[in-house]
Structure 1
Amino acid sequence: MTCCHRLTPVNYQNPKLDLEFSCPAKTDILNKPSLPGKARPFQFTAPIYKTSLPAAEFKRASVTVIWGRNSLLEFDQAGLLFIRPHANLADPNSTNEGDAETHPRFVKIGAEVFMGRMFYAVTGSNRTAPDWSLWPVPEAFKRTSTLTIEMVRHGALLAAFLLEEHGNHVKKTLIRTIPWCFEDIKGGDPDIWVGVYAARPDLDGIGDGAPLKVQFKGLEIETTEGVIKCPLCAI
């Protein structure tokens, strides 16, 4: 087992070195917006904690998302993140977001607010307009404000699961597969990124700049070399 010293922040400074985000407004990871005129294309401004590794080494990742009690805005989101950087932009960030050619491929798996309600959400972009799907959250979310998610590699595709604890039993439900994530991997390609992120697009500017507060616990990233765990995740 290795620990979270392999996790590095992107677009974020956190002196406490834990996985509690105070996510600024007007942040997102986005290629071509689904709402032209409200969101600009090729965004890479969301705060991230990630590890980089060769694609062949990745097996699975899971985390529990804990939502803050501040009011939630439309499209607030947080969860697991998968990034395939472009060969000409191995380290995208908020000051070098990429363009139509170099913006990274990405998958976001987590929780998202839509029409005032919380959902599990999976958003993927193979340098195309985002492919977005929603799944209802369990009733327990109203009590706990927590959701647990997992992504697993199966050959060339990435599978997204929701995890629910029922006593000593964990129910795992497949909610989405993304087919392109590990296709056409070449030896000279940049390492993939795996980690967690949060975003507050606030497209209508109604949050008065207030940040989204979100925490993560139990982050695990399993590779062929072992399991990366984060002992500093929120408990």
Structure 2
Amino acid sequence: MAEREWISVDSKGARSKTTLSSHMTIHTPPKTDIWRPSPTQDDFNAPFIYASLKSSAFRRISVNISAHWKTKYDQGGLIICWPRSPRNQSQWVKTGIEYFEGKPALSVVGCDRFSDWSLCPMPEANAVDATIEAVRVEQTLWVYLVLGAERRPLREIKWAFLEGRDVEAEMWVGIYAAKPTPESQDDLQSGIEVLFKNLTLDAE
């Protein structure tokens, strides 16, 4: 993983090379998100760190995520993106932790033409961290919650590696953080810092 080039993208879209470590943080300002509520509205301004590879090369990625979650939709986790799909619109999957109805939950969002969303409870009532893994199984992407030696399936995404996708297609894999909701109407500065530990990428 150390030999792979990693790119950091801020909330304004500025890119720079970065170096990974065993403990990393991404700080995000409010009003940031990765979300497509309709084919004509595409919000993708959350800061993220990614490596670019061929779609055929990806095998798995995992990371531990934690933060002081406090505001509705505070979130962070893994991001997997195909920036150029056959329809000339990006396709992506994000998965991790999202703060909803007063507590953190496990979240998976898949976006083809537009976004969907699924939530699962955290493994323990007071948990604020989780290890999430995304794995390619033939043409499918599986998302798991990792608990020691146990993997609990959270989502199966069938379209991720369909035969119609060019095996040479560019794919971004990495981590992100977002804060769609400001802490108050008057506070447009206070963001959230998400901590990532033990990021592992398995790719050819």
The TM-score, its normalising length taken from structure 2, stands at: 0.85
Residue ranges of structure 2 left out of the alignment (5+ in a row): none
Shift of 1:10: 1.5
Cα pair distance change 1:115/1:206, threshold 3 Å:
farther
Contact kept? 1:31, 1:103, Cα under 8 Å: no
Cross-structure match for 2:154: 175
Q: Distance in 1 between matches of 2:191 and 2:174?
A: 20
Check the 8 A contact 2:8/2:18 in 1, yes or no. Answer: no
More strand by share: 2
Determine whether 1:153 maps to 2:152. Answer: no
Alpha-carbon distance, 1:139 to partner? 1.6
Q: Kindly report the root-mean-square deviation, in angstroms, between the aligned alpha carbons of the 2 structures.
A: 2.6
Q: SS state of the match for residue 41, structure 2?
A: coil
In the TM superposition, what whole-angstrom CA distance separates every residue of 1:185-221 from its partner, at most 9, and x where no partner exists?
Answer: 12563x1010000110117854812111111010001
Structure 1 residue 87: Cα displacement: 5.6
SS at match of 1:3: coil
- Which runs of 4 or more aligned residues in structure 1 lie more than 2 Å from their structure 2 counterparts after TM superposition? 11-19, 203-207
Matching residue of 2:55 = 55
Q: Tell me the equivalent position of 1:66.
A: 66
Distance 1:181 1:108 in 2: 12
Aligned residues: 195
AA paired with 2:152? T
1:104-138 CA-partner distances (Å, limit 9, x unpaired): 1110110101111111000011022x111111102
Is residue 42–residue 103 contact of structure 1 (8 Å, CA) maintained in 2? no
Q: Is contact 1:73–1:207 with CA below 8 Å preserved after alignment?
A: no
What does residue 10 of structure 2 align with?
11
* Among candidates 121, 134, 154, match of residue 119 of structure 2: 134
| Residue 106 (structure 1) aligned with residue 92 (structure 2) | yes
Secondary structure of 1:72's aligned partner: coil
Q: Structure 1: give runs of 5+ residues left out of the alignment.
A: 34-39, 89-100, 225-235
Structure 1 residue corresponding to 2:77, chosen from 64, 75, 79: 79
Residue identity matched to 2:180: P
